Amino acid sequence: MNIWIFNHYALTPDMSGGTRHYDFAKELVKRGHKVTIVASSFHYAKYQEMKIYDDKEYIQENIDGIDFIWIKTSPYFGNGVARVKNMLGYTYKVLRFTPKLDLKAPDIIIGSSVHLFAVYAAYRLSKKYNTPFIMEVRDLWPQTLIDMGVSRWHPFVLVLGWLECYLYRRADTIITVLPRAVEYIKRYTDPQKVVWISNGFSCTETTLHEKKLSDEKFNILYAGTHGLANDLEVLIDTALYLRHETHLHFTLMGEGPRKRLLQEKAEAYHLNNITFLPMVQKSEVMDYLKSADLLYVGLKDLPLYRYGMSMNKIFEYMAAKKPVLFVSNIDDNLIISCNAGKVVKNYKVEEVAKTIQTFSKMLPKQREVYAKNGYECVQQHFSIEVLTDKMESVLKQWVKV
């Protein structure tokens, strides 16, 4: 098969962040397929350009057997008008330049809804090339904005609502990373079109190359985006609550719109038990995860999670063979179902602190039980190899090979 994937925010391992489509594409290439990924190289969390275009509007590269087309887009910071301009710029240039490239016509096209305009571009090109159109739902737009507090009558929300319905009805198959998203999507189209293919992680990438955190402390690590949904204020308040427990140390690694506010809060409290680190390449992330004693993740209590969640970091954490502390009230929670750690549902700092103390007092072999459970769960159900089996099966329904 010759597969085209349109994902505005697709990344390679050297760029820091989730690499879902790179991982799938690499495995598909191994199986004899040809994959082209069309992305922008302006990093969605670092807010910086990752490629040098000079006077070009796009760059073509082959990385690990995958053909990448990088579209030059305008810079932005945060989630305002400049980001929308960036999205529309990607969409316009995809439609303008892709047909002019010397590319073999695709057998199938996938559009990923990190935003809906990219999916629209994928749909338009599927009509041009007369190929099946697969819509991948990563986030539910505009429901995510509504649940974050934006008025459902905002003009941008209304545009997204119309576009969402338009694309759901025209997709030949809808792939969702959210386990219960079909309950939402079935309002607009036939639920039989919807297939769940989770995020995941390759369990072959879990070797420790270099110890990154001090052996003298019990290290609690968060690695990922510093955004509103991650609710990292809870972790800062927990570090304040436990500031006299000198054997505990908190590390927050990554970037995002709320990082500066979190740093200012830690500075205001004069906390010396917190370290903030920048985002690192994916090849380095595992060294940090495996150097920690406990891996932390939190999610704000938002209605959008009623359709489940599929966070890359959860699978990465479990693949690192470390116990996980998850502060979230999500019922459909892998940490519980895999017995890969502990979950605090009430968001109370005292409860979070108590759970961290419990982990720190465990014998290493007790923590290893949680670690082993998580690793085996990823290996059996959420490895890239297993998930690519599902992806390949979906695509082969539409393409004769």
Q: What is the pLDDT of residues 44-74, one digit of tens each?
A: 878 889 999 988 999 999 999 999 999 999 9
**How much is the pLDDT for 353?**
97
**What is the model's pTM?**
0.88
**How much is the pLDDT for 238?**
97
Given pLDDT bands bounded at 50, 70 and 90, which one contains residue 296?
Answer: very high
For 194, list phi and psi in degrees, rounded to 5. Answer: -95, 130
> What span, in angstroms and rounded, lies between the C-alpha atoms of 127 and 77?
34
Q: For 75-128, what is the HEC assignment?
A: CCCCCCHHHHHHHHHHHHHHHHHHHHCCCCCCCEEEEECCCHHHHHHHHHHHHH
**How much is the pLDDT for 302?**
79
For residue 226, which amino acid is it? H
Share of the chain above pLDDT 90, in %: 74
Question: Which is more confidently placed, 306 or 226?
Answer: 226
Structure tokens at 255: 């970037």
Specify which residues 201 forms β-bridges with: 383
When the pLDDT of each residue in the chain is averaged and rounded to a whole number, the result is: 92
**How much is the pLDDT for 310?**
81
**How much is the pLDDT for 207?**
64
Q: How many CA atoms lie within 13 A of 160 on its CB side?
A: 24
Strands (E) across 201-257 are located at: 218-223, 248-253
pLDDT at 297 over 80: yes
CA 227 to chain centroid, in Å, comes to 13
**How much is the pLDDT for 346?**
82
**How much is the pLDDT for 355?**
97
pLDDT at 205 over 70: no
Given pLDDT bands bounded at 50, 70 and 90, which one contains residue 401?
Answer: low
Lowest mean pLDDT segment, chosen from 5-9, 256-260, 354-358: 256-260
Give me the domains of the chain, ranges plus CATH numbers: 2-200+383-396 (3.40.50.2000), 218-381 (3.40.50.2000)
> What span, in angstroms and rounded, lies between the C-alpha atoms of 37 and 35?
7
pLDDT at 210 over 80: no
Q: What is the pLDDT of residues 220-268, one digit of tens each?
A: 999 998 988 888 999 999 999 999 999 999 999 999 889 999 999 999 9
Q: What is the pLDDT of residues 103-125, one digit of tens each?
A: 999 999 999 998 999 999 999 99
Q: What is the pLDDT of residues 16-52, one digit of tens each?
A: 778 899 999 999 999 999 999 999 999 887 888 999 9
pLDDT at 163 over 80: yes
Output the CA angle 272-277-279, nearest 5 degrees. Answer: 165
For 122, list phi and psi in degrees, rounded to 5. Answer: -60, -40
Closest residue by Cα to residue 220 from 197, 238, 199, 194: 238
